[in-house]
Every structure is written in C-alpha cells, then in structure tokens.
Structure 1
Amino acid sequence: MAGARRSWAAGRARSSLPARAPPVDTQKSSWKRSGRIFDVLICDRPRSTIKNLKSPIPLMSTQIRKDVLGKARSVVIKVGSQLMTSISTGGSDLDIDYLRDMARQIVELRARRVQVTLVSSGAIAAGCAEMGLERRPRDVADQQAVAAVGQRRLMTHLHDAFAPHGLKVAQLLLTRGDFDDRDRFLNIRNCVGHLHRRDCLPVINENDTVAVEELRFGDNDLLAALTCNALRADALVLLTVVDGLLDDQGNTVDPVEDIGSVLGMARAQVSTLGTGGMITKLEAARLVTEAGEIAVVADGRVPDVLARLFAAEPLGTIFVPARRKLDSRSRWIGLTKRAAGTVTVDAGAAAALSRRGKSLLASGITGTTGQFERGEVVLIRDDAGREIARGLTNYNADELRLIMGKRSNQFQKVLHRPAYDEVVHRDNLVVVSR
C-alpha cells in the first residue's frame, strides 16, 4: 500500500495540480479487464458506491481513473447547454467567458497529446440572442429556425475562443440517420480523423434544422455517445452542472458498474434548462461502456475540470467499462443502428446466444414485433423481456413469422425459395455484455 501511495503522490506531482492528502483507510482488490489486472483502491470517503455490483468486491474509482481515464489518448467531450449559456441572460445567450476558459482547458489537454472531439450545445440559445428573443420558442419549426441562426453565432464564438491559441475549429452537423447508415457512420470517423491529423478541433452538433427527432435527443448526450463509439475514442466526458450522479442524500455515486441499478436515482435529477437530464446521461454512458470504454459525468464549473479528471482526481461519477472492447462493426450493429423490430426467444435459444456464442435459429424464436426488412437490426429478448443481443436479420418480418419455431430444413418448403439456416448469424450478432 505504501507503493500505491507513492505512485498516487507522484501522479499528483506530475499533473502540476495542488497537492492533496492521499486516500486513507485503503485496502486492495483487483479488477480484471482484457487479461490485465488493475489494483483497485477501496477507501473511506464521503462518496457513495453501488453495492450490488457483479464484482465480488465493490470497485473504487481511483485506480480505474489512473489506469483507464489517465491513459486515454482520445476523448469526446460534451459541454451541456446550461454550461454554454449565461445565467445573466436567463440562458438566452452564450457565456463567452466560459467558452474562453473551456477553450484554454481543451488546448492544454491537447498539449498532453490527447485527441479531443468537442460536442457542443447552445445553438438555440445563441439564436435567441441573435434574434432578440427572451426565451426559447416552444414551436418545433421556430426552434429549427432559431437553431439555424444560432449555429453560425455559436461557431463564430468558438472560433474566437480558440483563435488566440492558434487552433482552428471545424463544424460537423449530424443527424441520427448519419449513424444508422453504415457508410455515413464510417465517413464520420474518417472525416474526424483527417481533421485531427490536420491539427483542427472537430466541433459536432446535431443538425436541429432538418430533423425533429434530434431536438429530443437529450441535450446532445446521445450524440456524444454515438460519436465516441464511431470514433472508437477511449473516453466520453459529459460536463454538466452537477457533480455526477447523486444519491438521495446528495452524495456523488462513484463508481457505477451496473447502470440499471441506479436508474431510480437518475429519475430524480431532471434538467431544468437543457433538454436532457441524468437519465439521458446514463443511456449515453451505457452505450460507451458496453463498447468497452470509460464514461464520466462531472461538473463543468469546477476549475480546471479537464486537467483534474485526467489526473485521476475523484471528480464526478465514472462508469466502468465492460470487460471487452467491441470492434467498429460490432459497435454499429449492437450500439448504434436503431433496431427495426424485436424477436423473442425461448430459454434454450437465449442460453445458446449469451453463453455459447451461437447463431440465432428460427426454432428458438417464439414471437416477433415490428415490420423490418432483411439486413436491418433486430433486438433479441428472452421470454422475460430482457434484451440479450442485437443482430442483422437474414429475413424480413413476414418471412420470420412464417418460419419461427421451425427447423431450417423446413424453410424452403414454407418460403418457396432457397433459405438461410440462421435468422441471425453469429458474425452479425452482438450479445449484451452485462
């Protein structure tokens, strides 16, 4: 333990941050991930931990922060609308001082050779200021028009904030459909990669002007998570106006491994100014951690929050990554493309998929809902309604209703054409990890 304390102190010294006393009353456990063993410090401090974790010993975030977040080389940072807007204007204009300070922090993080992709909010607030509106319009068409005006104003202020540091900013406006389409999904990654190589900062926002649904994404939380998975970034940082997930006593819950166990806490934390809340942040964290990367929710008003997070300071809530890393295609199938329908399977098929890595056969299917075509993603549930996997179907909904419960040697007789043995081949299937 003395060695762990020395390592902790050395990390503090290297970070050039104010010294703090190391954690006290610590004991060691281990966290295994991808064949590696991380020493985990469990310490007595006023932060809640989730007791019903799948690990036999509750995980402490300090060592995970060091070994995962501290070593991240690429990160997606999402700045919430309540941070981007000024309290003095009632949230109807951008907070220029905050933008300048965030620009400084991002530049300093890049100086540590961390690739940063910024997901920003605030276009509608900026548009309200430009058009002399005192409050956010309620009509969707008005919101789209205001966002069209505000996006230009937002990018102008971001340009002005980063220009003194010699950093160019690039704008990408995306919709949900850009992630559903496989080619566009890959093009997002390619474009952002080239921007990084040309030493530009990619700034991503939803294209609020063309898609109604994007206005309800949840303050860009989902957009940030989808971007993180598309880029295969090492970490997602969601900056908001609270210190992470809070329990009913107002203490920060840290760390979280089983997101489902904390949904009740999140429902009590609803955003008053933005379109999101803690529920959308948990969903974003789930998408990223399922892919095998770490997610953090932290208070963006904390001085030098980015440097302190990446120096492993105990700020906010970290969400522990799954013990696997998904490749790009699996992220698209299992975590990005929206499911077009649902397939229900019996206990035998559920076990074959989740435990033995088998393909989905029609004989184990007991029901299906939705209208979907061949090649679309279907959500696979067990007979209790739990999601166990997602995959690309070889059959459309009408065909599947004809063959479900049957053996593959009966397919041709029923469909009157040559048929696949599998409904979803295991190469096109992603099992839920936890």
Structure 2
Amino acid sequence: MSDTTRQSLAAMADTVVVKVGTRVLTHPNGALDTRRVAGLADQLALLTSEGRRVLLVSSGAVGAGIGRLGLEHRPTDLAELQAVASVGQSCLIEAYNLALENHGRHAAQVLLTADDFTDRSRYLNVRNTLFALFRLGAVPIVNENDVVRVDELQRNVGDNDRLAAMVTNLLRAPLLVLLSDVEGVYESMPSGDEPPVVIPQIDISQIASDSLVQSRANAGAGPQLSVGGMGSKLDAARLVATAGERVIIASGRRSNVLVDILAGKQVGTLIMGAESTTNSRKRWIGGAARCEGRLIVDEGASRALCERGSSLLAVGITRVTGQFSRGDAVAIVDGQGIEIARGLSNYSADEVAKIAGARADRIADLLGQRPYIEVVHRDNLALLG
C-alpha cells in the first residue's frame, strides 16, 4: 500500500539517514545477529545503487561486546561499559563491512560525540567528511563514541536516536528512518490478543502538543541491552520535523523495510515536518553567535548569492576584516556596506586574505593545499532579507 505523500517523499529523498537500535541487531542473549546486519547492509547497498546518499547510525556496540565476551548482563561499571563498547564496536563495523563488500561497497566508521556538533569547526569538518565519503561511494556507519564519552553511557535517554537527528539536520537530509523493534507508533498500548494498530501519520504539532502520543507509544520493553525507547524516538523526530524534514518510525525486523519505505509504501509511522525545510537552519546560522569577521564581496558575488543561491567563492571576495578560524561565523557584506548574509567559513581569516579574488584553481598554489573549493558553502550560508 502506498500514498502520494509517501511516494513524493521517496522520490525527493536523495539523502537518507537510517538509525537502527540494539534490539533489532542482537539476539536475545546479546550476541550480534550477523544475518540481520547482512540483510540491512543489502538494503543500504541497493539504495546507494539507486543514486541515494545513505548514512547509517547504528547502535549495538555494547550488545555486540556483551555477546563476544560471553557476558550475561550489561555491565553497570562505567569503565567496563566502555571496554565492552570498544570490543563490540570492532565486531559491529567488521560485520557491516563484510556484508557491504559483497556489493562492492565499504563501511566507513565514524564515531561522534555531542561536542562535534556544538563546536563549529568540528561540525563543519564532520559534514565535509561525510559528503566526501558519499562521493567515494562508501556507506558511513555512525555511532556514539562510547569509549571516550563518559556521560553518554550513564544516561538512559537513547543517545543514538538523538545523534541520528543531529546528523540528519547536519546533512539536511529529507528523511530520517528510525528502525525499532515495533512496527511504529501505536494508537494504544498492545494488550491481550488484539494486534496493535499503527498510526500511519503524525504531524509535528501533535508531537509538540499531545502528551498522549508518547504514552501510547511506549511498547516493546525488550531485554535490557539498549537505552532509550519510543519516547526518545519521538524526541528525535521532533528535532528533525521542527527543521522541516520527515521521519518514519518502523520495524527493523520487517523484511526489506528500507526498500519498501523508499518505494513509497505505507510502512510504519510517518511524522510530517514543518512547512519549510530551510528556515530553521537558516535562522540558526543567521542568528549564530557573534560574527568573528567580515567578507566584503563584489557585485557579481552578491548577485550569485542573493539571486541564484550560490556558494561564496574566493574570486568574489574583495576584502577581509577581523580574525576568525575555520568554521567560525562570518558576515558577508556587499560593496555598499550592507550585510547580505552570514555563513560558516571553510578558511581562516589569514587564508581568505591570501586567496581573496583568486579563482578556485589557484587556491592550492596560494595556500599549498585546497581542502575546499568554496569559502562558504551555500548549505552553511543564510541570506539576510
């Protein structure tokens, strides 16, 4: 079964973030279910062969470590939890890579913490690295860096759900798919022999205002091998939908679930976002902390930014003021002194001063390297008025 809304979403979803939970990937005893991993990898490879950019946020490191080490329970000691996660992470990425290699693809391990999103330089570097992996045809496998992140393993808040939402917003991906051990958001708690009824579609306003949604959804407790639950998934969905993107919560145990979703079939619960897909992010960049510098641009660059939504290239910059580092927010000013945009700079003030007015093919000669073509990429730029 499909509908026009889902078909349209499937057609426009050129970038897809998928999050899969521990209970989907592990056996009841905690060991990694390699057949489930292989089945998921098969679907990821198929989606990438269609020309989509696909990123997987995968839980399961602690569960995989529990299985490999033969432990009966999830450790409570922080040092042991981190050690188990370290053992399990190698198992997890190895399983994904072996399965993807059957399709001529490679798994790229990416371990992140919340700090990678709050620090602008690291945020920008993560984004550029992920898009470089897409260009190389690899499948990024993202996980929380449990080995070094002290507080994440101690909080029962579903960190990878939140991490998936942050990655979705970072990539501005049109679709986030949260794969759980339940079929979606239920109308009511399952009871007796009656099968639960999945809510096919929810609007962002319902998540924000209807507290019953979460109480209806908390089903499928499962073994204590993971953190989070449906509540954390709805919180993650709120973060993404508020920025204007779409979220689908579905069962990761369903055969070919990703293929069906990207074929526009009615699978799981679709959570619709705000009307605009750009305003939230543009407001964030435009209202970022104090701009550390100013880039004065010529008339051609001003027109390209304002009329065509282009990135800012070095050739259009006439002057640089202030001191800023890579990833800092800068004001973009036209020749009349009017601030027309703000953005995150790929280069430091000293570097921009050296390449201002130069064509992109001269950057390497002037700096000794050319890590980026754009000084400010259009995805990291907000027009003002």
When normalised by structure 2's length, the TM-score is 0.67
Could you tell me which of 26, 46, 50 is aligned with 1:85?
Answer: 26
- Is residue 2:198 matched to residue 1:252? yes
Query: Once the 2 structures are TM-superposed, how far is the Cα of residue 185 of structure 1 from its aligned partner?
Result: 1.1
2:37 and 2:283 map into 1 onto residues whose CA distance is: 32
- Is residue 2:83 matched to residue 1:145? yes
The 8 Å contact of residues 178 and 250 in structure 2, kept in 1 or not, is answered as: yes
Q: Quick one: structure 1 residues 176 and 301, their matched pair in 2 at CA, closer, same or farther if it must change by over 3 Å?
A: same
Which residue is equivalent to 1:159? 97
1:173 and 1:79 map into 2 onto residues whose CA distance is: 15
Could you tell me which of 61, 68, 89 is aligned with 1:130?
Answer: 68
Could you tell me which of 54, 71, 79 is aligned with 2:12?
Answer: 71
1:285 and 1:333 map into 2 onto residues whose CA distance is: 21
Q: Any residues of structure 2 matched to 1:4-403 within 5 Å, and which?
A: 62-87=3-28, 90=29, 92-215=30-153, 216=155, 217-248=157-188, 250-257=196-203, 258=205, 259-268=207-216, 269=218, 271-273=221-223, 274-326=226-278, 330=282
Q: List per-residue Cα deviations over 1:25-57 (Å, max 9, x = no partner).
A: xxxxxxxxxxxxxxxxxxxxxxxxxxxxxxxxx
1:263 and 1:123 map into 2 onto residues whose CA distance is: 32
The 8 Å contact of residues 226 and 336 in structure 1, kept in 2 or not, is answered as: no
1:124 and 1:168 map into 2 onto residues whose CA distance is: 22
1:148 and 1:65 map into 2 onto residues whose CA distance is: 39
1:246 and 1:336 map into 2 onto residues whose CA distance is: 38
Any stretches of 5+ residues in structure 1 without a counterpart? 1-19, 23-61, 338-426, 429-434
Q: Quick one: structure 1 residues 331 and 187, their matched pair in 2 at CA, closer, same or farther if it must change by over 3 Å?
A: farther
Q: Quick one: structure 1 residues 336 and 296, their matched pair in 2 at CA, closer, same or farther if it must change by over 3 Å?
A: farther
Query: Once the 2 structures are TM-superposed, how far is the Cα of residue 272 of structure 1 from its aligned partner?
Result: 3.3
Query: Once the 2 structures are TM-superposed, how far is the Cα of residue 202 of structure 1 from its aligned partner?
Result: 0.5
The 8 Å contact of residues 127 and 150 in structure 1, kept in 2 or not, is answered as: yes
Q: Quick one: structure 1 residues 313 and 207, their matched pair in 2 at CA, closer, same or farther if it must change by over 3 Å?
A: same
When normalised by structure 1's length, the TM-score is 0.60
Any stretches of 5+ residues in structure 2 without a counterpart? 190-195, 290-380
2:246 and 2:279 map into 1 onto residues whose CA distance is: 15
Q: Quick one: structure 1 residues 194 and 329, their matched pair in 2 at CA, closer, same or farther if it must change by over 3 Å?
A: same
Query: Once the 2 structures are TM-superposed, how far is the Cα of residue 335 of structure 1 from its aligned partner?
Result: 12
Q: Quick one: structure 1 residues 226 and 141, their matched pair in 2 at CA, closer, same or farther if it must change by over 3 Å?
A: same
Q: List per-residue Cα deviations over 1:347-391 (Å, max 9, x = no partner).
A: xxxxxxxxxxxxxxxxxxxxxxxxxxxxxxxxxxxxxxxxxxxxx
Q: Quick one: structure 1 residues 282 and 208, their matched pair in 2 at CA, closer, same or farther if it must change by over 3 Å?
A: same
Aligned residues: 280
Q: Quick one: structure 1 residues 262 and 149, their matched pair in 2 at CA, closer, same or farther if it must change by over 3 Å?
A: same
Query: Once the 2 structures are TM-superposed, how far is the Cα of residue 329 of structure 1 from its aligned partner?
Result: 5.1
Q: Quick one: structure 1 residues 276 and 145, their matched pair in 2 at CA, closer, same or farther if it must change by over 3 Å?
A: same
Query: Once the 2 structures are TM-superposed, how far is the Cα of residue 334 of structure 1 from its aligned partner?
Result: 10
1:272 and 1:317 map into 2 onto residues whose CA distance is: 20
Identity over aligned pairs, percent: 41
Query: Once the 2 structures are TM-superposed, how far is the Cα of residue 327 of structure 1 from its aligned partner?
Result: 6.1
Give the structure, 1 or 2, with the largest relative contact order (CA under 8 Å, sep 6 or more): 2
Q: Quick one: structure 1 residues 260 and 224, their matched pair in 2 at CA, closer, same or farther if it must change by over 3 Å?
A: same
Q: Quick one: structure 1 residues 332 and 279, their matched pair in 2 at CA, closer, same or farther if it must change by over 3 Å?
A: farther
CA-based RMSD of the aligned residues comes to 2.8
Q: List per-residue Cα deviations over 1:216-235 (Å, max 9, x = no partner).
A: 34051000000011111111
Amino acid at match of 2:53: Q
Query: Once the 2 structures are TM-superposed, how far is the Cα of residue 328 of structure 1 from its aligned partner?
Result: 8.4
Q: Quick one: structure 1 residues 175 and 290, their matched pair in 2 at CA, closer, same or farther if it must change by over 3 Å?
A: same
The 8 Å contact of residues 9 and 264 in structure 2, kept in 1 or not, is answered as: no
1:247 partner SS: coil
Q: Quick one: structure 1 residues 214 and 333, their matched pair in 2 at CA, closer, same or farther if it must change by over 3 Å?
A: farther
1:255 and 1:93 map into 2 onto residues whose CA distance is: 34
Amino acid at match of 1:68: L
The 8 Å contact of residues 106 and 139 in structure 2, kept in 1 or not, is answered as: yes
